[in-house]
Copies of this chain bind each other. A is one copy, B any other.
Amino acid sequence: MRRVLISGVVALGMLAGVGVYAQSKGKVSATASDEDQKLLELARQFFQPLPAVADNPQNPVAKEKVELGKMLYYDPRLSKSGLISCNTCHNLATYGVDNLPTSIGHGWAIGPRNAPSVYNAALHVAQFWDGRAKDVEEQALGPILNPIEMAMPSEKEVIERLKSIPEYVELFKKAFPNEKDPVRYENVGKAIGAFERTLLTPSRFDEFLKGNTKALTAEEKKGLKLFIEVGCVSCHNGPAVGGNAFFKFGQFVDYWKATMPHVTLDKPTIPIDLGRFGVTHKEEDMFVFKSPSLRNVEKTYPYFHDGSVWKLEDAVKIMAKTQLNRELTQEETKTMVAFLKSLTGQIPRHALETPVLPASTDRTPRPYAR
């Protein structure tokens, strides 16, 4: 897993014009102005269009697996109470998030971190804000057993519920045709993961990257240029415009000072999140988080790992200050936000076609709310 030192990458951002990875990845419209063409070439050094599917050779995306994964994703019986599904906190109708500072789970527990979007998540270098799961297949299995999320007491109880429902047994057989006993906990993750690998949201920015420089407005292009020049691109790059490396939140200003001015580390009035340190226990990972993807960022408020900031303008300013020691003007912020809104993509139709869930049987262990 990469941990990129921000100072080095900012330098890379500065050098961008020199064309470190410069290569032609598609035709540039013949009518594009010189300036547009230069911006396109610059942008292509940092960003790539979304693929059709974020496939995984270890868990190939097959139709049957995606179908099963979608049902599991929407099924609240994967939670102890029978109330909470993956879709509860990663609502596909609201760009894969719950738009809450931090999520509400079993027993009305309020979790410690903001729910990241499931859209385009399969492209990330690792999962969760602290990268503790290596991919979406592994990630999907975490919240099911987390006592303050879906709170299933054990993998065994998850499997008992699923095995009691003949339709699910049949769907697991179809999704994992070479296995003798396919209803296994790991396969729950593989199915949900396969579904998530189809949850990509192409936007006008992809059209731009593919060569149509008219796909973005003049202001959006100005914002893109600024995004690159200021150095945002050093952490937010790749096909997901982020999500592909870890960085300290608070390079120049401690994040909690920027987002919650009343909090100090000496006498914190709320818990200060140590980030990836909790996973690696290395001092250098203190306050380190995965950079989030900025795809659909317009819709995935509130922002940051703690969901402490609601306005995109504020989030942009805080990031520029904490990460790049740069005070953005009102005009710069507005322009940057215009670019960010061009990352709002199309939700794939199949994501929102909710499956009818198979009924429980007399053998299905009952949910319990307490």
Taking Cβ atoms with an 8 Å cutoff, the residues of A that contact B are 74, 76-77, 81-83, 88, 91-94, 98-100, 104, 107-108, 110, 298-299, 301, 310-311, 347, 352-357, 359-360, 362, 366-367, 369
- Structural contact, A83 and B76, CB atoms closer than 8 A: no
Residue numbers in B under 8 Å from A88 (CB-CB): 83, 88
- A51 to chain B minimum Cβ distance, whole angstroms, is 22
- Structural contact, B352 and A99, CB atoms closer than 8 A: no
Interface of A is mostly: loop
Residue numbers in B under 8 Å from A81 (CB-CB): 100, 104
- A298 to chain B minimum Cβ distance, whole angstroms, is 7
Residue of B at shortest CB range from A91? B76
- Structural contact, B93 and A359, CB atoms closer than 8 A: no
- Structural contact, A93 and B311, CB atoms closer than 8 A: no
Contact partner of A98 (CB less than 8 A), chosen from B76, B91, B93, B360, is B76
- Structural contact, B355 and A353, CB atoms closer than 8 A: no
- A201 to chain B minimum Cβ distance, whole angstroms, is 11
- Structural contact, B301 and A360, CB atoms closer than 8 A: yes
- Structural contact, A82 and B99, CB atoms closer than 8 A: yes
Question: How far is B347's CA from A107's CA once the two chains are assembled, in angstroms?
Answer: 31
Residue numbers in B under 8 Å from A366 (CB-CB): 310
- Structural contact, A362 and B310, CB atoms closer than 8 A: yes
Q: Do A347 and B356 contact each other (CB < 8 Å), given the known contacts A100-B367, A104-B81, A369-B100?
A: yes
